[in-house]
Chain A
């Protein structure tokens, strides 16, 4: 497929790996923010092509992983309510709250449906006017335009039985929180390409300058990721803490203006709680007052802080890049994708699931 196959070309990958090795003179720790990139790095074994002196830390960029228990519990409560059709992306169904998962609710007879798009959930509401239809609007900036379109469409067409349970989070505040934490020893970032496709690159310039780190925007295919690492290493070696766009085929400096305009009409920034990072100021989105009628928390009550359960899971440290999955005593033993203890093993883009799926047969170097 065009714009996929050529970015997986083995020759190009090996030339980039050679260039990275030639450019590297010192140890560097680089964090890829996005879970999709973590998955690609593990799937294609890209980390094994890098010199030993480059360490990749895996960041908090998986919306499934950072959605806090409070919202999972609220989703479970709404989904179990008589008369409700609860729609969600498939990867949220196995995420455990304090009282089980959405799949458990479905097994007990709840009407929980997997949809491909928020717009499909609006269609479910149109077709079932006698039922309350709630969509679990989880995601980063990438998903904001589609969620905004769903809310806007429901309002325009008067689909009054539709609402959104919004747990939208924003990437730059989380990166800023990581960089402000003295425990974090990340020296450069690969920023999530599709988040920037929507939002553009401007939020990163002051951050790169303030924290003195290069931030390289890149895509998800092997050639994208390695060319991002090469640009990051070159910037680190020459002490240039700047923003570099290596994903220009879809990322413009001010993002997608039409999408941002609708997103801004529907959503406003709000404080949000992140699993692993805690509550961060202005790190997420909530529906604007004009859309309050389509807010599931307005209809079914607000999500309440959940009491954290005791667990051997170290996903909080993993989401901050402080530890790698094989450093967890439960990894691959008490905790597997079939019986996950924590979110980073549940989500297919979580770092633990990526290591388990692509690395469990081979011994880990350096551990």
Chain B
């Protein structure tokens, strides 16, 4: 039930607790409340749960796991 889905902000409108966005979820577009992600703007990915964005996805942190995988490969002598 804590399912949350990443989507890309296409446009924003409103302000404060009524701040809304059109968000593209891989082709499905929905209105999302983005009041809790004031830093998010057009082109950013947000994590959406029951119609409300609960985080802006951090692109740098997202890449970290794949860097860890490269380290694992280097340690085991395998090429990715």
Contact = CB atoms under 8 A, between A and B. Distances in A.
A152 B16 CA distance: 13
Given A149-B35, A259-B36, A195 B2 contact: yes
Given A18-B76, A248-B58, A194 B49 contact: yes
Interface string A316-354: 000000000000000000000000000000010100000
B36 A63 contact: no
Contacts of B4: 142, 194, 197
A262 interface: yes
Nearest to B80: A11
A142 B51 contact: no
A250 B58 contact: yes
Given A2-B6, A4-B6, A145 B52 contact: yes
B61 interface: yes
B57 A3 contact: yes
B61 to A, nearest CB: 4
B54 A197 contact: yes
A357 to B, nearest CB: 16
A90 to B, nearest CB: 10
B72 A249 contact: no
28 contacts: A2-B6, A3-B6, A3-B45, A3-B62, A12-B69, A15-B69, A18-B76, A19-B76, A35-B1, A116-B51, A118-B51, A119-B33, A120-B51, A142-B49, A142-B54, A143-B1, A145-B36, A146-B33, A146-B52, A192-B2, A194-B2, A194-B4, A249-B59, A249-B61, A250-B57, A252-B55, A259-B54, A262-B17
Interface of A: 1-4, 6-7, 11-12, 15-16, 18-19, 22, 34-36, 61-64, 89, 91, 116-120, 138-140, 142-143, 145-146, 149, 152-153, 192, 194-195, 197-198, 220, 223-224, 227, 246, 248-252, 256, 258-259, 262, 347, 349
Give me the 5 closest cross-chain CB pairs, A-B, nearest first: A117-B51, A1-B26, A248-B61, A249-B62, A142-B2
